[in-house]
Amino acid sequence: MANYRVFIVGLPNSTLMQFMQTSSYFPPISIEKKNVRDGNIIPMMYGRVSLGEHMIYMYNPVEYTSLESIQNIWQGLIDEMNGSLLFVNSSDQGMFMEAKKLLGLLSSKPNAPCIVVATEFNKENSLSLNQIQSALNIDERHLTACISTQTSSVRQALGQILDILGGKK
């Protein structure tokens, strides 16, 4: 069984916590993780799920306050993580500049892919996956749509990062 650690960041209104509740075997729990870079304690939400013979451990900073705060957290945890998920609300076009900056940060570790998870894509004013792909300048392998309350949709998003990491679902 392979284990993967995934850093998860969600921009406001991206339904990230619903995703964690749907995917995890138990309700997400609060943990404290030590930032190896500066020694500070980072409050995080933690969840885990198995896909086939693989276990995915999910770590989400409790508060998204700014790009700088996420950068500090990411730099302190980067060596532990195998990849990341960036949640964006596809109906909130004003957040895409911030998403692009976060994507650049989360893509900074070689061999630790970042998958953009587009939520709320079924709303009338939502961008299509092609529009999101173009706005964030990413290839289609690194983008998935997800309905955070549907187990099959959540497992598909997790399966996509597992596929890129080299695991089999």
pLDDT digit string, tens, across residues 44-92: 889 888 888 899 999 988 776 678 888 888 888 888 889 999 998 888 8
Distance from C-alpha of 153 to C-alpha of 148, rounded to nearest angstrom: 7
Task: Name the packing angle between helices 67-77 and 96-106 (round to 10°).
Answer: 20
* pLDDT at 12 > cutoff 80: no
Distance from C-alpha of 77 to C-alpha of 130, rounded to nearest angstrom: 31
135, burial (CB in 10 Å: exposed 0-12, middle 13-18, buried 19+): middle
CATH level 3 topology of 3-165: Rossmann fold (3.40.50)
Mean pLDDT in residue range 108-112: 80
Determine the pLDDT at residue 70: 84
Distance from C-alpha of 105 to C-alpha of 147, rounded to nearest angstrom: 25
pLDDT (tens digit per residue) in 124-166: 788 888 999 998 999 888 898 888 888 888 888 888 878 888 7
Distance from C-alpha of 71 to C-alpha of 105, rounded to nearest angstrom: 7
Domain ranges for the chain, please list them. 3-165
58, burial (CB in 10 Å: exposed 0-12, middle 13-18, buried 19+): buried
Contact 99, 47 (CB under 8 A): no
